[in-house]
Amino acid sequence: MTTDASAPWLIVGLGNPGPEYAGNRHNVGFMVADLLAERVGAKFKRAQKAQAQVVEGRIGPPGPGNRRVILAKPMSYMNLSGGPVTALRDFYKVPTAHVVAVHDELDIEYGTLRLKLGGGDNGHNGLKSMTKAMGPEYHRLRFGIGRPPGRMQVADFVLKDFSSGERKELDYFVDRAADAVECLVIEGLERAQSAYNT
């Protein structure tokens, strides 16, 4: 699958809107998107064409390695992310292979990152909605949050804030995830996987 290298990238942080969800494990995608927006020096604003907040900017060194990016946070709630993401993809003319979903992942340890292209949704409602709307051939950055302790239900676990122990390392892991997204966009999937898949 070849894609125009100069085509823009759409980086989607998955999460739920509203202050009551801000620190939840399920909102780690929003945290990474916020840091990337800070790095490009812009603030999120309401998208004209979609139920989302967006930032437009460029990442990478000046010259041919520089990439145009649209950072997005769907404001539709996690299980309806596909609609806003597809609307943004179409509006900005982004190839599906240049869409990156940044999301929480139960099946890998806290703070572990995994980059991949395509694949299943592993029960993640945000990915399920995106795949239904535009097919599976987009990139994912999976941010490990680990499994719930004891008998806690998955739904309760992902909608809880990170524990105080986890919060001590959260900024470091979010920073590393933002680095991984930048590496993917500038240097490609293989390079990013070898540097960040642990």
The catalytic site residues sit at 26
Q: Tell the residue number behind the tokens 């806290």, with chain if given.
A: 110
The H or E element containing residue 38 is: helix 28-40
Q: Tell the residue number behind the tokens 């995608």, with chain if given.
A: 29
Under a CB-based contact definition with an 8 Å cutoff, are residues 97 and 117 in contact?
yes
Which residue, 116, 119, 46, is CA-closest to 84? 46
Q: Tell me the residue type at 20.
A: E
* Three state DSSP letters for 102-130: EEEECCCCCCCEEEEECCCCCCCHHHHHH
Answer positive or negative: Cα dihedral of 158, 105, 95, 36: positive
CA distance 194 to 17: 33
Which residue, 126, 151, 127, 144, is CA-closest to 180? 144
